[in-house]
Amino acid sequence: MGMMKTFMMLAAMTALFMAVGFIVGGTMGMTIAFAIAACMNLFSYWNADKIVLRMQGAKEVTDQDRNPMIRTFARDTKALAEAAGLPEPKIYIMDTPQPNAFATGRNPKHSAVAATTGLLNMLTREETAGVMSHELAHVQNRDTLTMTITATFAGAIGMLATFAMFFGRGRNGIIGTIAVMIFAPMAAGLVQMAISRSREYEADRRGAEICGNPFWLASALEKIDRGARSIVNRRAEENPAMAHMYIMNPLSGRKSDKLFSTHPATANRIEALRKLAAEMGVDAPSGTPAARRVAGPWG
C-alpha cells in the first residue's frame, strides 16, 4: 500500500507539471514539463533522503565523534535497530534546541534516522530510546519512502511558478502563474492525504515493542510536545513541507498555520501507549506526569 501511494503521488506530480506546461506553452510546453517531471521523479526516488537531510542541516555521526552523549546515542540506536531486526541505519544529528527527530530513506537497507541536539539534551536515555524506536518503526513499516518523496513533492510545486513566469507569454503566462497559485495549496492537501495519521499510531505501537517500554515513548512525547511549542526549529520553519516527517510537528514554535499538521493529538498518542503498556504487562512509573524520569536498564 505504501508503494502504491508513492507511485500515485509521483503520477499526480507529473500530471500537475504537464497541465501547467500545456496552459503556458501548449503541446510543446506540456512536453517540456513532462520531461522535467520525469527527471525529477527519478532523481527524487534515489536522492530525496539526501535532499531532506541536507535541507534540515543534519550531520552524520561518525566513529570519530568525540561527544560522549552523541556516541552513546548512536550506540543505543544501533542496538535498537538490531533488536528490531533491521540493517544498521545511518545516524544524523541536527543542531537545533528544539527536541525532535525523523527517519528517511527509500527502504530499510538505505535508511537514516536523525535527532536534534535539543532532543538529546532534554530527554533521558530511555526516552531517547523510545523516540528512536518510533523512527525505526517507520523504517520497518516502509513509511519513509512515502514521507520523504512527499516532502520533495510539496517543495517542487514552487518550480511551477518559475516555469510559468519564465516561459509563459502574454495572457497564457498569467493564467499559468495563477494556476500555480491555486495548485500550491492543493499540494499541501496532498501531503496531508499521503501521510496518514494512522501511521504515527502504528509507529508508536511498534516503537514501544522495539524498546520494550511504552512509557519511555509516552514520556518523550510529552516533553517533545512542550518543547516544540516553545522552541523554534529554524530549518523546519524554512521548509514547512517537511514538517510531517518529524515525530512531532516542528512548526509549533511560531504557532504556524495547521496546514501541514499531520500528527495526531499528543494526548491521544500517550493514551494509546498507556493502553498498550497494560496489554504488555508493563507497570506505570510512580507519579502522575508521563514526563517524569523513567527508570530502566538504559540508565
* Maximum pairwise Cα distance, the chain: 70
CB 130 within 8 A of CB 220: yes
CB 214 within 8 A of CB 269: no
CB 224 within 8 A of CB 100: yes
Q: Which of 126, 135, 200, 222 is catalytic?
A: 135
* SS3 labels along 155-180: HHHHHHHHHHHHHCCHHHHHHHHHHH
Q: Clarify whether 127 is annotated catalytic.
A: no
Long-range contacts of 234-238 (CB under 8 A, 24+ apart): 234/96, 235/55, 235/56, 235/57, 235/94, 235/96, 236/56, 236/98, 236/100
Q: Cα 75 vs. chain centroid, distance in angstroms?
A: 22
Distance CA(108)–CA(52), nearest Å, equals 17
Residues noted as catalytic: 135
